[in-house]
Structure 1
């Protein structure tokens, strides 16, 4: 956590005030960048990627970078950069650092890059290139199949773990912890992998 994210007032906040706060990280913003590389420039582009990732990670609110390499014979790379808020994402995309990196990579690309910003479910159900968007009922069923077991298992497991600790075993605080764990699992662990696993059915 960076210094500007700290909120000293939380130290003296009441249990009710904490329970009423929004769960941190629930509105993660993901920028999806698609870049088509010149065939003769692939090696240089890969070196450029190695430079971008650590630089992006130094910006406030950064939550990770993923690079999806093209299929064999392809030249389109997809880079996803996650931030904890739209404001932090805009800081990165509006920065001189980002503009300088774009100027560096421009000669290596076969076309202008495409950038889209998505939040929450929009990113989980982003179709592969050339595929139509997932039908709404499939998005609903896939999300339900994850949320239903998690809402049963996570509170039950946490209740057993937190019961011996009176400070955190109260009704409101226990539910806050369960909500934070559930959202974290959905955003960072389960949905990114589950949607890839079910992609053939999802985008059929």
Structure 2
């Protein structure tokens, strides 16, 4: 199970000083056990924030890097360059099914619950989108596909899965 560390910094000093520090931090993080890759998120010129995503092969190695003496020493240097450091450790397998249980939820149960959530959406949303697009005189299958995928994804994340997980929480934690 891969783990991701998302770090955000608010820059205080010149960008050049931060970039020099970041090069040292990047070089050291790449030497950490289980390091997979790093992605710098684009800087918004209107805001002084820099964000980076580090991926590790598992949570233990990500935690090991977060608590390492090398990293702590580098972060002490950072205090003169940036503030408001925020770090989030995310495990990829826990997107929908992290129900604060120490037990692992069986994959087949995750599939059943996902089908219960997604099936009604895949039946209703395409019909509604086609009705609306026909009414607007739009006949593009590409536009329909993008709208259907977007609406189903939004409904899954914000409505269907939270509701389904509440309803099936007890069943998912059995075993």
- TM-score interval (norm. to shorter): 0.5 to 0.7
Q: Counterpart of 1:79? A: 52
The residue number in structure 1 matching 2:4 is: 30
Whether 2:70 is the aligned partner of 1:97: answer yes
Work out the CA distance in 1 between the residues paired with 2:20 and 2:81.
Answer: 11
Aligned mates of 2:37, 2:94 — CA distance in 1: 17
Once residues 37 and 102 of structure 1 are traced to their aligned partners in structure 2, the CA distance between those partners, rounded to angstroms, is 13
Partner of 2:87: 115
3-state SS in 1 of match to 2:88:
strand
Equivalent pairs, count = 104
Q: How far, CA to CA, are the matches of 2:48 and 2:94 in structure 1?
A: 25
- Per-residue Cα deviation, 1:85-121 (whole angstroms, up to 9, x for no partner): 1110111111100100100111111x33000111216
Distance in 2, matches of 1:106 and 1:80, equals 20
Distance 1:46 1:72 in 2: 15
SS in 2 for 1:113: strand
Aligned residues: CA RMSD: 2.7
Q: Report the 3-state secondary structure (helix = DSSP H, G, I; strand = E; otherwise coil) of the residue aligned with 1:59.
A: coil
Contact 1:69 1:76 in 2 (8 A): no
* Larger Rg, first or second structure (1 or 2): 2
Task: Write out the 4+ residue segments of structure 1 that deviate beyond 3 Å after TM superposition.
Answer: none
Give structure 1 stretches of 5+ with no counterpart. Answer: 1-26, 124-136, 142-197
TM-score (norm 2): 0.52
Q: 1:47 and 1:121 mapped to 2: Cα distance?
A: 34
Deviations 1:114-135 (Å, cap 9, x if unpaired)? 0011121668xxxxxxxxxxxx
Distance 2:46 2:15 in 1: 11
- 1:141-160 equivalence runs, <5 A: none
Taking the aligned partners of 2:31 and 2:74, their CA distance within structure 1 comes to 14
Structure 2: 5+ residue runs without aligned partners? 96-113, 119-149, 158-175
CA distance in 2, matches of 1:31, 1:80: 6
- Give the CA deviation at 1:47: 1.3
SS in structure 1 at match of 2:31: coil
Partner SS state of residue 70, structure 1:
coil
Aligned residue number for residue 162 of structure 2: none
More strand by share: 2
Of 81-90 and 66-75, the range deviating more from structure 2: 66-75
